[in-house]
Amino acid sequence: MAELKSPDTRRCRYFFLYDGSKVRGEGDPTRDGICYFYPEETPMDKQDLLCGQLAGVGRCVSELSSSAVRILRLRRCKFAIRMKDDFFWALGCSMDVPTVSVCELLDHLINLFCFYNGSVRQSYQLNSKETLAAEWARYLSHVLSGPSELHYILQSVRTLDLTNVDPLLLLKAALILQACQRCPLVLAGCVLFRGRVVSTQMPPQLTIKVMVHETETYTKTQRSSGTSSPTSDSRPVSSTAVFLTPSELQYLQSAPVDKISSSHSAPEKDAPPKKTRLSRTLSDTPSSESTPSRPASCQSPQRASFSPHTSGSEDSVFSPAPSQGSSADSPNSSPPSPIHRFSYGRNAHQVEGRTPDESHCRNLHTGGSGVSQMLSEGDGSAFEESLHLNRGAASKTTDCGNVAFRDEKTAAGDGGVCCRKLRGHKAEMRQPPSGSCSFDSLEESPLVSMVLYVHRVNSLVLALLVEPRFMGDSASMEEVNHSSLASLNGLEAHLRAISPAAPGAAGPYLFAHYDSVQSTLTTNVSGRPGGAPEHPFVRATSLLHSHFFDTETLQEAIIRSAGTAVYGTRTVAQETYFQQHGGSMRNSGIPNQQDSAFSLPSKARHRLLKHGVNLL
């Protein structure tokens, strides 16, 4: 679940942002430069010492090498460092977190801040340290809230456990997103349920950013109202200003979206990326290039029968249309209430909830051959706890996707701030300054202001990245609302009806499968307390992951200690780690064909097939 844990102290020791411009003169106390320091309860003297020394040494080394410091290691702690203008960020983790992961975490943290607040410099000009400290704390706790250590090493999008979700529901989610996209002001969106991704059109890194907002809202709702029964307090539609990097924007815009004729665009969106897909990802494992024709014939009937059924039921249950009263099982399924006007001004817009147009919904479901394709993919990946990505994810594998990510990693930056915490007039004042530079100032790319539109139906959330003028365009809003509301209600009911899968008994093996294109992690490592037996596996995975990262040509590796043997393999798009339990380690380390360690590759191939991981 998505509850935010307090940052794991074992993983993260320190995080701070230090502003060197505040400490120029001899007499300036170091603490003037400390913008944020975690753990916050650290004695001031120690904060001073760490910030002053690390920033000072960082500057000295940077001058010696004419390049910013990236990693700084102490004996018991390693720091990822970012230096930009006079800002100095440091994220200190324990030594067993791979260095590459620490760096990614820090970048992610800074990117999150910039996504919701815009330029760091400007944020600090306009807001108090305390306000922004709360922001940092928020993002930090989000970044560090992975369910297990593995999620920490392999940063991934948290997805719905698809093993017990009807693939048709995933399809439905995808279709909702597509329908919303008909509005030209909608860039892309994602559907989340209980803090997990059901479907997304955005690249993984962007999805993760969007999820922070949602997860928080969800958690707040949870806290305020106990278990999943949002009170009337939770507003169904909200919006917040966000800031995209130019590369993110370019990526979203470059997707082949036909914004005028909606129904025709669907197949085109899916088809090309499928061909260029590099990875043997979950979704295309069973459905090879030739299969899309298959579901067209054999699944269409299913879809035909399904679609009226679902839409009918969801309409009956959730639509305000008083045709049915069978909403006993969903007491909270109230008619969509009017969108609340946010106190802070122009970003808030009042849109009347409308009764979903049933025929519209139907149209959606028969939205073209893209549907059948989605179905086939859905079938294949149904066993996975994996992200079912539609257009957005698929096309990410095309050339622009990875490039976009690279940029994004280093991108953070300037721009206005317009988040919930701000007073309205401020938000209005601060349009993204077009000339200001982002974190990767080499490119001098300004952040672009966008709006994150969130429509919540109980635990289900539709999050859309929209052009700012969308919020002023009541016709567009209405259109989006129309096209999605009924389906959202239906989807929510179905997803809620799914009982959370009982944590499966750990098999005689441990595995982790990371899809680096989709940023999804499939694993049976629980991360539950008392997961000590899993620790050797996680440790080996961490080492192998670093090794794979460092050595491009490395394809597979087996490493064994006296008690553990772990097999790792990777392709361009994925990394898989496997450990077999038991199997006495009788051999003594000498080369021996009978050594059980060397049978790991074949065991992994067999065992993981049922998880949809194809290592052949």
Partner 1 sequence: MKCLLIASESAEVLFHWSDREYRQNIQEKYGVSQEEGEGLPAFEDILSTLFAPIIISCSTLEDSYTSFTTENNHIYVLHQFDECLYIAVNGDGEEKEDDLRRKLYVLKKMVEVMFGMVTLSGNLLRRELRPQDTEQRARLWKYLQSLLETYSLLRENDQSFLVEAVERLIHPQLCELCIEFLERRLVQQLNSSVERAGEEVLHAFVLVHTKLLAFYSSRNASILSPSDLLALIVMAQNMYPSNVDLDDMSPEDTESTSGSGPENFYTPEPSPSSRSSSSSGKAGRGETPVFEFVDPEIQMAEDSLHTLEINPPDPASPRRVFLEVSHKDGPFPMMPHSMYCLSLWPGITLVLLTKISSSALAISVYKYLEEFDKLEKRLHEGHGGPASARSPLNMQDIRSKMDKFIKSLEPHDLQYAQLQNVWAEFKSRAFSRGGSGFNKDLIPWCKNMKTQLCGIYRQCFLTGSLSADVTHRLSAGLQERAQAMVREKLVDWKDFLLVKSKRNITMDFPGLVHFICVDRATGQMIAPSLNITERTTSELGKGPVAKYIKNKVWALVRTTRRYLQKGYSTVTLRDGDFYFCYFLWFENETGYKLQPVEIPVLPDDSPPIGMLAYDYYNRLLRYCSKSHKGENVKCYELLTVHLGVIPTEIILQHCRQLASKLWEPSRNPLLWRQTRLRHSSKGQGQMLFTPLEPQRRGQIPGLGFILLNKHWDVQKAFRTGQRLEVVQTP
Can you give the binding site for partner 1, defined by CB under 8 A? 49-50, 53, 56-77, 95, 539-540, 543, 547, 551, 553-563, 565, 585, 587-593, 595, 597-598, 601
Q: In the complex, what is the shortest distance from the CB of residue 105 to partner 1, in angstroms, rounded to a whole number? A: 16
Taking the complex as a whole, how short is the minimal distance between the CB of residue 540 and partner 1, in angstroms? 8
Closer residue to partner 1, CB minimum distance, 55 or 206: 55
Rounded to a whole number of angstroms, the minimum distance from the CB of residue 554 to partner 1 is: 5
For partner 1, the closer of residues 179 and 540 by Cβ is 540
H or E, element range at 88: strand 87-93
What's the min distance (Å) between Cβ of 251 and partner 1?
Answer: 24
**H/E segment holding residue 191:** strand 186-193
Smallest distance from partner 1 to CB 86, Å: 17
Question: Could you tell me the two tokens for 603?
Answer: 């065991």
Q: Which of residues 505 and 562 has its CB atom nearest to partner 1 in the complex?
A: 562
Choice between 505 and 590, CB closer to partner 1: 590
Hey, what are 494's tokens?
Answer: 């179905």
Nearer to partner 1, 377 or 595 (CB): 595
CA gap 217, 234 in Å, rounded: 9
What is the closest distance, in whole angstroms, from the C-beta atom of residue 417 to partner 1 in the complex? 27
Long-range contacts of 53-57 (CB under 8 A, 24+ apart): 54/18, 54/79, 54/81, 54/88, 54/90, 55/18, 55/20, 55/88
Site of tokens 């098999």: 507
Which whole-number Å values give the CA distances from 581 to 172, 506, 510, 543, 584, in the listed order?
39, 10, 8, 19, 9
Q: What's the rounded Cα separation, in Å, for the pair 546 and 540?
A: 10
Q: How far is the CB of 411 from partner 1 (least distance, A)?
A: 15
Between 63 and 130, CB nearer to partner 1: 63
445: left (phi over 0), alpha (psi -120 to 50) or beta: beta
Q: Which is nearer to partner 1, 440 or 479 (CB)?
A: 440
Sheet order of strands, 186-193 included: 196-200, 186-193, 460-466, 448-457, 237-244
DSSP state of 183: S
Shortest approach of partner 1 to residue 578 CB, angstroms?
A: 14
Helix (H, G, I), strand (E, B) or coil at 291: coil
Query: What distance in Å separates the CA atoms of residue 400 and residue 273, rounded to the nearest whole number?
Result: 11
Nearer residue to partner 1 within complex by CB, 479 or 595: 595
The rounded distance, in Å, linking the Cα atoms of 449 and 186 is 14
Task: In angstroms, give the least distance from the CB of 273 to partner 1.
Answer: 29
Rounded to whole angstroms, the Cα distance separating 259 from 467 reads: 13
Measured from the CB atom, the residue of 56 and 345 that comes closer to partner 1 is 56
The secondary element (H helix, E strand) that includes residue 521 is strand 520-523
Length of the chain: 616
Tell me the closest approach of the beta carbon of residue 136 to partner 1, in angstroms. 23
Give the separation between CA 354 and CA 341, rounded to whole angstroms: 16
Nearer to partner 1, 284 or 595 (CB): 595
Residue type, position 285, single letter: T
Give dist(CA 223, CA 227) in Å, integer. 8
Shortest Å distance, C-beta 374 to partner 1? 36
Nearer to partner 1, 56 or 368 (CB): 56
CB of 48 to partner 1, least distance (A): 11
Rounded to whole angstroms, how far apart are CA atoms 260 and 447? Answer: 27
Q: Give the DSSP letter of residue 336.
A: P
Min. distance of Cβ 549 from partner 1 in angstroms?
A: 13
Q: Please report how close the Cβ of residue 609 comes to partner 1 at its closest, in angstroms.
A: 20
Q: Which is nearer to partner 1, 343 or 588 (CB)?
A: 588
Residues 366, 262: Cα–Cα separation, whole Å: 12
- Is the Cβ of residue 72 or residue 498 nearer to partner 1 in the bound state? 72
- CA dihedral 161→167→169→171, nearest 10 degrees, is 120
Q: Are 178 and 262 in contact (CB under 8 A)?
A: yes
Helices 167-181 and 369-380, packing angle to 10 deg: 140
Q: State the minimum distance, in angstroms, from the CB of residue 62 to partner 1.
A: 7
3-state secondary structure of 464: strand
Task: Find the largest Cα–Cα distance for the chain.
Answer: 78
Nearer to partner 1, 187 or 565 (CB): 565
Residue 405 and residue 110 in contact, taking contact as beta carbons nearer than 8 Å: no
Select 61 or 573, whichever has its Cβ closest to partner 1.
Answer: 61
- Using CA atoms, how far apart are residues 545 and 304, in angstroms rounded to an integer? 45
Token pair of 451 as six digits:
């709006």
Would you say 84 and 111 are in contact if contact means Cβ atoms under 8 Å apart? no
